[in-house]
């Protein structure tokens, strides 16, 4: 058994595509029309054959209630690894993205939490500077 | 006799709640998740649910304010309820000293 995909619920797939590619820097892996929505996945350019993130419509009322409740308490829907959280924080705030939590040292890692504007908070993690 | 200080003393009489006030000293406007992150870093192993209940006690004593900003619930520190405690057992002559 292998983990090849993980999903986040998004309120708008077109907007999510913009945010996850143009701002976060991922690349489209699958974009297949599927009725009203699309089978839309992105991968990291650093790992083109790595885990795909499925940008999944949050059409189900429970999906919306779930993401809203998590966001209210500042809880991330998912988490990505970066080389340097501080540098990503500077880059992404420069692009107009909002963080609910600035870079914060937590034991062996530094974490920050940003709003993907599609309904989710996303945690960024890097190893603490030596 | 409750002179209004009971809730403050009760709120302070717990190491996790004191650690939460320490964490809020870092910055205002923290989410529950950020507070839990900072708690974990100080070695407090409480669950998110337990920390949420501690925050309710602090809010009840007026030491923490919870506000809604957009989609988030944010927490601010307010040390105003501590001011009367600082003065209370000072003798008059000390109180008048600058």
Given a cut of 90, whether residue B96 has pLDDT beyond it is: no
Which of B37, B71, B73 lies nearest to residue A104, judging by beta carbons? B37
**Which pLDDT score, from 0 to 100, does residue A112 have?**
98
Sheet holding A99-106, edge to edge: A78-81, A121-127, A109-115, A99-106
Q: Is the dihedral of CA B60, B66, B68, B71 positive or negative?
A: negative
For residues A105 and A107, what is the distance between their CA atoms, to the nearest angstrom?
6
Which of A71, A74, A107 lies nearest to residue B41, judging by beta carbons? A107
Which of A72, A106, A113 lies nearest to residue B41, judging by beta carbons? A106
pLDDT digits 0-9 by tens, A103-122: 999 889 999 999 999 999 99
Total structural domains within chain A: 1
**pLDDT bracket for residue B44 (50, 70, 90):** confident
Q: What is the CATH number of the domain that holds A51?
A: 3.10.180.10
User: Residue A50 is part of which domain span?
Assistant: 5-127
* B67 Cα to chain A: minimum distance (Å): 11
CATH code, B6-96: 1.10.10.10
Interfacial B residues in 11-70 facing A (CB < 8 Å): 27, 30-34, 37-38, 40-41, 48
> Domain ranges in chain B?
6-96
ipTM at complex level: 0.90
**Which pLDDT score, from 0 to 100, does residue B97 have?**
59
């Amino acid at each position: 058994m292998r983990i090849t995909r993980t999903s986040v619920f998004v309120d708008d797939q077109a907007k999510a595509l913009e945010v996850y590619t143009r701002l976060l820097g991922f690349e489209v892996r699958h974009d297949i029309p599927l009725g009203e929505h699309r089978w839309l996945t992105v991968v990291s350019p650093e790992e083109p054959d790595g885990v795909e993130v499925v940008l999944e419509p949050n059409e189900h009322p429970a999906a919306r209630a779930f993401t809203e409740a998590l966001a209210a308490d500042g809880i991330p829907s998912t988490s990505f690894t970066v080389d340097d959280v501080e540098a990503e924080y500077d880059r992404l705030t420069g692009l107009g993205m909002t963080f609910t939590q600035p870079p914060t040292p937590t034991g062996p890692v530094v974490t920050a939490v940003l709003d993907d504007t599609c309904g989710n908070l996303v945690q960024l993690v890097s190893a603490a500077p030596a | 006799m409750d002179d209004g200080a009971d809730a403050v003393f009760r709120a302070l009489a717990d190491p996790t709640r004191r650690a939460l006030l320490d964490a809020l000293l870092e910055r205002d406007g923290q989410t529950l998740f950020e507070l839990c992150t900072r708690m974990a870093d100080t070695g407090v192993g409480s669950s998110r649910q337990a920390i949420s209940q501690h925050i309710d006690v602090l809010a009840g004593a007026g030491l923490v304010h919870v506000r809604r900003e957009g989609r988030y619930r944010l927490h601010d520190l307010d040390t105003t309820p501590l001011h009367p405690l600082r003065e209370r057992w000072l003798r008059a002559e000390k109180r008048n000293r600058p």
